[in-house]
């Protein structure tokens, strides 16, 4: 094959230029995702929105929203995550069935419909339904876009490209906050435009995404799985380079992918979501274990505190003693620091690995949460005593540690729970596997966005202590259960999860033993060996040793 049919950027660009172009399109989806999350923080403070939805009113003296029905407020926000829960499962199925490109287009259209319904909502019932529809579109995109990005990137730079995309994710949060902060001054913040325009604004990147994605190459790994080998070879050559040495490398990668497809088809025939969840019929692939890992990693990501900080940051700053208006601009400033902190991950994720990134993140986040809670309490106590000087000092300290928390999170836990599910699943179910990660994120985020208003209303700053404790608990969980995926090809993941126990030390020992027993595995394609023969014999030896 000399070129792809029609207009396609892969016909003109190659190597790093093509990878950058693919990741720019993926970043559009991730930008929308971030914008959509950050948007509700400002919407919840809009005078017209609070009254129209019927969950409270605005205090005329302070300008603070007074919530009389926190369950309704949290429910409107969290029903979005119910939509993402179903949307991710649909997106994973569609992505594995008809391809990554068509699934992205479907998600874009669905999200456009949801955004249109949201910005025209007239009551809370309408808004709840619109949020659910929009969530389905977001779920589809979140299930498939990271898979498309990782399947086109090289194993040495997967983390870097995904980290760059999530810088755009937080840029979306920043745009949402500052747009809404600016609109809060229109008609004294009482105009419907304060919340309707920000919701409608998200339609712009979605339209661009839908229009552009058709001109980009399909995942070569999905094409091999579907038997469209010539297209896959052409795209791989364009991704890795069409000169002689890079072309040979692309062919070696193609042969590894082809042989892994044959291995997985032989090893596992039952690939429904039900079979994946319970690990039924996956043999030595241990798909059920991988599903549990990605679901819980995403749930833990939300419980370390980011769900509360992202959506309810103004509430946190009001607890620390700041006014409603000051809370809004501090939240926006916090998100600017958050965005720049994600650049740390771009340069470290592929160097120190996924596990160490999560370790240092959990330590930093836990300390920041405990101290933010402590200074918030001191600030409130000083304010109650009428000591405004100390109240302001303690409030500033609390805000500083919220800044530190979001910066550390942006550099660590933001990216890894989204990258890991896109890396570790077998090719035959990679989109569905990543969908399980989004499923876990939907549960964790929806659960917390529903609980956050209630927790802050009843526990106040003690809510932050809960988040701090979750960071501490996360460290031994990651240490014991999550093997390192850094600098390993997507085709090597089946060996990494070949052990019969869930423990990391067994996974690494089994991986090392299988590679030592069959050293030619890493150059199987170049030597003309069939990867499934090598892996099959290795896995067979592993099974035999366990049976013995």
- The confidence score (pLDDT) of residue 316 equals 66
DSSP states of 167-200 = HHHHHHHHHHHHHHHHHTTGGGGTSTHHHHHHHH
Q: Which of 450, 395, 326 is nearest to 64 (CA)?
A: 326
What pLDDT score was predicted for residue 62?
A: 67
User: Residue 548: which pLDDT band, with cuts at 50, 70 and 90?
Assistant: very low
| Residue that is written with structure tokens 């190459």 in the block | 217
pLDDT at 521 over 70: no
Specify whether the CB–CB gap between 271 and 286 falls below 8 A.
Answer: no
Over the stretch 470-510, which tens digit does the pLDDT of each residue have? Answer: 999 999 999 999 999 998 888 888 889 989 999 999 999 99
pLDDT of residue 106: 96
Q: What is the pLDDT of residues 386-408, one digit of tens each?
A: 887 888 888 888 888 988 998 99
The stretch 449-476 carries a mean pLDDT of: 88
Alpha carbon distance 234, 329 (integer Å): 50
Four-residue CA torsion sign, 290, 296, 300, 301: positive
Mean pLDDT of 59-83: 80
Confidence of residue 44 (pLDDT cuts 50, 70, 90): confident
Highest mean pLDDT among 211-215, 320-324, 487-491: 211-215
Nearest to 5 by CA among 228, 269, 158: 228
Of the listed ranges 117-131, 135-149, 257-271, the one predicted with least confidence: 257-271
Mean pLDDT for the stretch of residues 26-40: 89
pLDDT for the residue numbered 314:
67
The more confident residue out of 42 and 400 is 400
| Residues belonging to the chain | 548
More confident residue, 490 or 359: 359
Average pLDDT over residues 289-303: 94
Structural tokens at position 115: 């955004």
Position 432 scores a pLDDT of 92
User: Is the predicted pLDDT of residue 231 greater than 80, yes or no?
Assistant: yes
**Residue 359 confidence class, pLDDT cut points 50, 70, 90:** very high
Q: What pLDDT score was predicted for residue 391?
A: 81
pLDDT at position 265 is 78
Question: Across all residues in the chain, what is the average pLDDT?
Answer: 85
The whole-number pLDDT of residue 478 equals: 97
Longest dimension (CA), the chain: 79
Q: How many helices (H) and strands (E) does the chain have?
A: 22, 2
Quote the percentage of the chain above a pLDDT of 90.
45
Sorting pLDDT into bands at 50, 70 and 90, what band is 538?
A: very low
Residues 27-37, mean pLDDT to the nearest whole number: 90
Q: Using pLDDT thresholds of 50, 70 and 90, give the confidence band for residue 345.
A: very high
pLDDT value at 310 more than 80? no
- Written as one string, the DSSP assignment of 2-51 is -S-SSS-GGGT--HHHHHHHHHHHHHHHHHHHHHHHHHHHHHTT-HHHHH
User: 76-90, 248-262, 325-339 — which one is most confidently predicted on average?
Assistant: 76-90
Residue range 358-363: average pLDDT? Answer: 97
Which of 254-258, 416-420, 492-496 has the largest mean confidence?
A: 416-420
Distances (CA, A) of 189 to 58, 60, 181: 11, 12, 9
Query: Which one has a higher pLDDT value, 132 or 70?
Result: 132
């Amino acid at each position: 094959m000399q070129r792809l049919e029609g207009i396609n950027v892969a016909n003109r660009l190659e190597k790093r230029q093509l990878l950058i172009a693919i990741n720019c399109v993926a970043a559009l989806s991730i930008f929308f995702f971030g914008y959509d999350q950050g948007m509700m923080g400002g919407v919840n403070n809009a005078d017209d929105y609070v009254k129209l939805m019927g969950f409270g009113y605005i205090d005329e003296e302070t300008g603070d929203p007074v919530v009389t029905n926190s369950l309704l407020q949290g429910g409107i926000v969290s029903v979005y995550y119910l939509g993402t829960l179903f949307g991710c499962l649909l997106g994973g199925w569609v992505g594995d069935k008809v391809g990554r490109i068509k699934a992205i287009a479907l998600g874009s259209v669905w999200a456009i419909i949801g955004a249109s319904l949201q910005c025209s909502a007239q009551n809370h019932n309408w808004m709840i339904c619109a949020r659910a529809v929009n969530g389905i579109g977001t779920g589809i995109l979140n299930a498939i876009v990271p898979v498309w990005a990782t399947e086109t990137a090289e194993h040495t730079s997967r983390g870097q490209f995904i980290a760059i995309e999530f810088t755009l994710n937080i840029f979306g949060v920043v745009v949402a906050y500052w747009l809404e902060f600016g609109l809060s001054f229109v008609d004294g913040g009482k105009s419907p435009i304060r919340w309707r325009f920000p919701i409608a604004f998200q339609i712009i990147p979605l339209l661009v995404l839908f229009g552009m994605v058709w001109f980009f190459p399909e995942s070569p790994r999905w094409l091999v799985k579907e038997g469209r080998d010539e297209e896959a070879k052409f795209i791989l050559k364009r991704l890795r380079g069409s000169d002689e040495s890079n072309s040979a490398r692309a062919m070696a990668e193609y042969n590894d992918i082809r042989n892994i497809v044959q291995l997985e088809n032989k090893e596992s025939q039952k690939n429904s979501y039900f079979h994946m969840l319970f690990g039924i019929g996956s043999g030595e692939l241990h798909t059920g274990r991988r599903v549990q890992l990605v679901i819980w990693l995403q749930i833990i990501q939300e419980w370390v505190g980011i769900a509360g900080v992202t959506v309810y940051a103004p509430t946190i700053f009001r607890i620390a003693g700041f006014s409603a208006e000051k809370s809004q601009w501090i939240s926006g400033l916090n998100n600017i620091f958050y965005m720049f902190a994600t650049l740390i991950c771009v340069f470290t994720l592929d160097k120190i690995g996924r596990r160490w990134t999560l370790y240092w993140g959990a330590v930093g986040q836990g300390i920041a949460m405990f101290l933010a809670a402590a200074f918030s309490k001191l600030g409130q106590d000083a304010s109650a005593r009428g000591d405004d000087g100390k109240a302001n000092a303690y409030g500033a300290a609390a805000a500083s540690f919220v800044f530190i928390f979001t910066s550390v999170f942006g550099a660590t836990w933001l990216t890894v729970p989204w990258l890991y599910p896109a890396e570790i699943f077998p090719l035959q179910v990679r989109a569905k596997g990543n969908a399980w990660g989004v499923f876990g994120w939907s549960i964790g985020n929806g659960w917390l966005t529903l609980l956050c208003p209630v927790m802050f209303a009843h526990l106040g700053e003690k809510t932050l202590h809960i988040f701090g404790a979750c960071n501490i608990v996360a460290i031994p969980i990651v240490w014991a259960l999550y093997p390192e995926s850094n600098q390993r090809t997507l085709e090597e993941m089946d060996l990494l999860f070949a052990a019969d126990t869930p423990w990391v030390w067994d996974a690494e020992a089994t991986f090392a033993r299988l590679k030592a027993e069959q050293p030619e595995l890493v150059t199987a394609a170049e030597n003309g060996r069939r990867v499934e023969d090598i892996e099959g014999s290795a896995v067979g030896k592993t099974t035999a040793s366990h049976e013995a």
